[in-house]
Structure 1
């Protein structure tokens, strides 16, 4: 069976490998062990992956070949899919300035990366997958997991002894390894960022296309690494880390960073401007690309896990300890847990049988808790604290909409203003000395990012997190768990071939119906058979990747 799958020509994007090692000065006596390590990066040609993605007829009903501006009945702009944003429109205008690009389709390349752990009990096995998508695929298609996001590389994770954790040379090498790896992986796209190439699109038409680097999906620590800035600073603007929300700050740009790096030494860049001067972002290798502009908003890690779970929920617990002491605070927290557990059954609400006391939090846990947390704490904390969390929840739910109009943007700005106003209760009560946190500060940029890239749920790291299951965790479980990466790569390649083959068969009119419908065709009159087949097709259409779990009793 495996030999048959391997022989399928469709969806064939073979994995390749290149090696990287330290090439700097090596001491003659007692050199560090990491200086001799060789790191292997496995990747697939992104140009090949994009061609196969665009050639997939499953995307025909969710494909945007050109940027578009959408407006409501009042003439106000509406933002939804990526190509409805202003950024794509501006990029298309830049392309049109070159007469050789006349009529060319813009293909924004969206990347995302995030470390994931497949097993803690067998040695903390970590992998660093890099994913690729394109801005021409509508948000609803990407969220439906219809191969709109594809793993294209597994980045290296350098490991060495703890004695080198604070070694400046080793830290710089890790940063440079990351950026040089990304530059090498995307290298094949560079020729077609200035000269059009011919691509077959999901609707069956051939079009000239120009690639461009689009938004990068990452959580805050990785955004800081991508932008080459110091942790605690904003990767998008010049706000000072000690007071990120003090007034409006100018935007970081590639040009400004280059000027500062040419004027100041590394120490001044680090302390005064929050820049790692020895990091050169991988985007500098590509034309018209500024990493500070391309960092996507992250609903999952910035808002849901970051601001809500790590900040607000934690701060409420700390306030209760400060106000009432640890024993009384524990009783109040138990009361809050009882309120959460007492939530009546209702569609869309999760039942927390033991409140919010569980060790392993997931994004879904945080989303579910957000729906019931506010009434659970009411009466146990000051009103301004409740108002702050209510304003944040309002902001969070508004930016998670699939379509955001002018009215929604106004409400988002109002909710953000109220949140910044009422969150001061956490400083006046002694929970925080001051609030200058990058994740909360980045909320300031959301309105601009929505106008640039459309609704944030199309660029959320929850998409890459969910892809970890199919691309990393399940292939790892299928492997022997010994030197598993090669086996995982083979599994991913076979899955890509099977998905491409299935799409091709459906386009050819195959795989329509089931074995039962075929038997009915032999037994029933043609009119009745066609009617039953039509009903079955309506039920099955578009649900290739839907998995339905049967209901279970609570005690099972």
Structure 2
């Protein structure tokens, strides 16, 4: 109950105070509510009008501000930063609720909203709770909220590397977090009664949960020397393993950008440079780039027209490269180098699963063991393997037992939140003292979200604002528009020969959308994802695009029986090469299927047998591919292919 008294098992929740189904207050009606949403999100109307439109009390949480200043020992010549005050703005959200124990997940990450205009760097602090599913946190449903802007102390170049300034910088960070989280202290030991999502009131105890951030900021949080482990007491030359609790894993920075892109990809280049002369090295690197560029198109997969040789890398670029890089280096590097990439990719995709079982943990540990076994091939190429990003892989199994599946604690979630919480509000501001305007914008967004949730819970947002009017019109006009309103025959009983003939053209569709359940992908709260499969003779008026698919050939069989199938001209089948995946790459191999007379094996199938889009990458071998080869020629030119299980997480689960 609301006073904290326990109810008997099975007692229904206390009814929520109801509003009238047509109560749009403070708006007059649904049209005014949707107009307010459109005016703010699309038209960015003036602040004077916004104050009128957003008079709602829902989601109204005020911002608070405090300042911090250096209070330590002062040298004879006092640097200017010691006399400055550094402000910090925080938001306390009383709507956060969960079950009996609510871990508070924190994340912080500096971001720049404009390069070259000066002092446009912000340091947002985000919070979420551990009692929601990972796909909700991914799905832009405000499960991750901005709770503050941390101060970024500045000084002149003369003092920027001063030890006292660096210490103050770190102390300011810790002190700010302490002030922001101080409101949680009373309810970390004494319960608070909160109505939760099931309608019941629960006694809630809050606790600090994982902290999501990149390695550089983890150093500040843990007060650890750079290149040392964040989790254990091992020195940087002999990193050991002993879990330290609150610093979470980070798939983006630790595995994708760290262990894969910054380490293995770079080490391959160093290996090739060490064993080949300059001219041969350039030929091999160019061929690897051509192989990356020759990868066939796939829905949602970025194309690298110039290969992987460019300077400005983003996290998304690294994610795409890891999906196509393995076949590109095969034939140019030793077998064990291919296997170390295979082991790392297996590790990355296994820990990204939305549901991790005991069997999955065994597979993760096995992939980690193979990674350590095969990465010794680089012993004479790199000075040490004691690198924080790789070493942290040792702690993943223990951290999964502590925190659950890592895909809900990835810094890519907060980086995507920057757009809505930081960058868009900054662009909507007039750029003068923008922080205050950004705070108000986020407050407006919270109010709008709260109003949306309130109206949706009362069924007021079903359909459109004209749905009820349209339904009435359909009923009123049904009799008038009928050709034979007095005909009592059931249309289903009319013979086909008596039906009107269609004299127009039949439409041929060059693409189809496959909807499927993919909980490990960033796919929304329902776990549903959509992939478009194309059979287009002229894609974007430039080239043909003919995708491949997984086909369910026996829906009654246990599991899923998959065949490989091309969407080109007629339906062209592929058949497996061998009875198991390739040992080095871990991927199945396929080749076009032919009849005994040498003709292609073609078939017509029902559209409902299409299971999922498939991505094939050519088996390049050790031969150099032609300079003139285009990516849309690959499926026609090559005679055998890898089934790319790294194309997305759903493909990995299908093919593994």
2:186 to 191, 206, 215: 191
1:213 to 208, 211, 216: 208
Aligned to 1:366: 318
Confirm whether residue 25 of structure 1 aligns to residue 73 of structure 2.
Answer: yes
CA deviation after TM superposition for structure 1 residue 164, in Å: 2.1
Which structure has greater helix proportion? 1
What SS class does the counterpart of residue 102 from structure 2 fall into?
strand
Per-residue CA distance 1:334-378 (angstroms, 9 max, x = gap): 111110111112345432222123333222221111111000011
| TM-score, L = length of structure 1 | 0.76
Give, in whole Å, the separation in 1 of the partners of 2:340 and 2:162. Answer: 41
Compared CA separation, residues 367 and 250, structure 1 to 2 (3 A):
closer
Give, in whole Å, the separation in 2 of the partners of 1:542 and 1:190. Answer: 32
What SS class does the counterpart of residue 524 from structure 1 fall into?
helix
Aligned to 1:285: none
Q: In the TM superposition, what are the counterparts of 1:377-388 in structure 2 within 5 Å?
A: 377-388=329-340
Confirm whether residue 232 of structure 1 aligns to residue 227 of structure 2.
Answer: yes
Q: In the TM superposition, what are the counterparts of 1:428-439 in structure 2 within 5 Å?
A: 428=380, 431-439=381-389
Confirm whether residue 448 of structure 1 aligns to residue 398 of structure 2.
Answer: yes
CA deviation after TM superposition for structure 1 residue 441, in Å: 0.2
CA deviation after TM superposition for structure 1 residue 5, in Å: 4.1
Confirm whether residue 488 of structure 1 aligns to residue 438 of structure 2.
Answer: yes
Per-residue CA distance 1:18-39 (angstroms, 9 max, x = gap): 00010112234x2111111110
Q: In the TM superposition, what are the counterparts of 1:47-58 in structure 2 within 5 Å?
A: 49=93, 51-54=94-97
RMSD: 2.5
What SS class does the counterpart of residue 424 from structure 1 fall into?
helix
CA deviation after TM superposition for structure 1 residue 434, in Å: 1.7
1:466 to 416, 433, 436: 416
More deviation in 221-230 or 117-126?
117-126
Equivalent residues of 2:241, 2:394 under 8 A apart: no
Give, in whole Å, the separation in 2 of the partners of 1:463 and 1:547. Answer: 20
Q: In the TM superposition, what are the counterparts of 1:221-260 in structure 2 within 5 Å?
A: 221-244=216-239, 248-251=240-243
Give, in whole Å, the separation in 2 of the partners of 1:169 and 1:189. Answer: 31
Give, in whole Å, the separation in 1 of the partners of 2:280 and 2:469. Answer: 70
Per-residue CA distance 1:305-327 (angstroms, 9 max, x = gap): 11111111111112222222444
Give, in whole Å, the separation in 2 of the partners of 1:515 and 1:482. Answer: 38
Which structure has greater strand proportion? 2
Give, in whole Å, the separation in 2 of the partners of 1:127 and 1:140. Answer: 27
What SS class does the counterpart of residue 88 from structure 2 fall into?
strand
Aligned to 1:139: 134
Give, in whole Å, the separation in 2 of the partners of 1:153 and 1:458. Answer: 21
Aligned to 1:330: 282
Aligned to 1:523: 473
Give, in whole Å, the separation in 2 of the partners of 1:522 and 1:436. Answer: 71
Equivalent residues of 2:241, 2:395 under 8 A apart: no
Equivalent residues of 1:118, 1:124 under 8 A apart: no
Aligned to 2:55: 7
| TM-score, L = length of structure 2 | 0.64
Give, in whole Å, the separation in 1 of the partners of 2:279 and 2:119. Answer: 36
Per chain length, whose mean CA-contact separation is higher, i.e. which structure has more relative contact order (CA < 8 Å, sep 6+)?
1
Aligned to 2:84: 37
1:315 to 263, 267, 270: 267
Where does structure 1 lack aligned partners over 5 or more consecutive residues? Answer: 55-63, 66-104, 252-291, 529-540
Aligned to 1:392: 344
Aligned to 1:200: 195
2:461 to 511, 517, 534: 511
Give, in whole Å, the separation in 2 of the partners of 1:468 and 1:119. Answer: 13
Give, in whole Å, the separation in 2 of the partners of 1:427 and 1:548. Answer: 42
Aligned to 1:415: 367
Give the number of equivalent residue pairs: 443
Aligned to 1:171: 166
Larger Rg: 2
Compared CA separation, residues 379 and 182, structure 1 to 2 (3 A):
same
Aligned to 1:401: 353
What SS class does the counterpart of residue 245 from structure 2 fall into?
helix
Equivalent residues of 1:53, 1:148 under 8 A apart: no
Q: In the TM superposition, what are the counterparts of 1:89-168 in structure 2 within 5 Å?
A: 105-123=100-118, 125-168=120-163
Per-residue CA distance 1:163-221 (angstroms, 9 max, x = gap): 22332211111110000000000101101111111112122222111111111111111
CA deviation after TM superposition for structure 1 residue 43, in Å: 0.6
Equivalent residues of 1:110, 1:216 under 8 A apart: yes
Where does structure 2 lack aligned partners over 5 or more consecutive residues? Answer: 1-48, 479-523, 543-656
Give, in whole Å, the separation in 2 of the partners of 1:484 and 1:301. Answer: 30
Give, in whole Å, the separation in 2 of the partners of 1:155 and 1:166. Answer: 20
Per-residue CA distance 1:54-89 (angstroms, 9 max, x = gap): 3xxxxxxxxx63xxxxxxxxxxxxxxxxxxxxxxxx
CA deviation after TM superposition for structure 1 residue 512, in Å: 1.5
